[in-house]
Amino acid sequence: MNIKGIIFDLDGVIVFTDKFHYLAWKAVSDELGIYFDEKINNRLRGVSRMDSLNIILENGAREYSEDEKHQIAEKKNEIYKGYLSQMTPSDVSDEVRKTLIELKRRGYLLAIGSSSKNTKYILERVALSDFFDAISDGTNIKKSKPDPEVFLKAAEFINLPACECAVVEDAFAGIDAAKSADMTAVAIGDATSCKKADIVIGSFSGLLKYFH
């Protein structure tokens, strides 16, 4: 394994904002009178905001115009950002922070590859803004995972070929995207049952065993 760069998904890997997404989508769904639960929420993991909304609207009683969809998505994002504003550096565990520091000390280039347009704001809230060598997020991509675009852009930003990059992901769509990009796929959390993963780790610090 000739890995020189490690690309991390943000939510579910570095931080955990799933509960905020759920509460925000639930608030919007309730207002629209559309059924929404944890099971539906699980389908939204790693998926862009507009694609997530389209999944939720599958249960709607009527069709929504593109303008209406954008208004709903914007409302959801404002509710979500209200929750994000409560985040602090303590929302990143000591294990994650120490592992990132050690990987950097070992000479790896570190990047974020996230579909979220709030990536930079979240990193700012948890005091990791200046830590990563590059950030590829929802503001610079057209396609969300499982399309590999977000990871390919991250590799481009750190000037490495895809084959020299590993991706750390907690979602099946993210593992699929990593494999499509010809990158080493590292599964953590919910993705550990994904058979396509090249490496499976039980905890974040498990990265240190594979990346010397």
pLDDT in tens, 130-184: 899 999 999 999 898 899 999 999 999 999 999 999 999 999 999 999 999 999 9
Q: Go through the domains of the chain in sequence order and give each one's CATH number.
A: 5-16+92-210 (3.40.50.1000), 18-84 (1.10.150.240)
Q: Please state the pTM of the whole predicted model.
A: 0.86
Catalytic residues: 9, 11
DSSP code of 11? B
φ, ψ dihedrals at 87, nearest 5°? -70, 150
Rounded distance between C-alpha atoms, residue 201 and residue 211, angstroms: 12
- 198: tokens are 């090249």
Mean predicted confidence (pLDDT) in 100-129: 96
CA distance 113 to 169: 9
Tens of pLDDT, residue by residue over 11-40, are 999 999 888 999 999 999 999 999 999 999
End-to-end CA separation in angstroms for the chain? 11
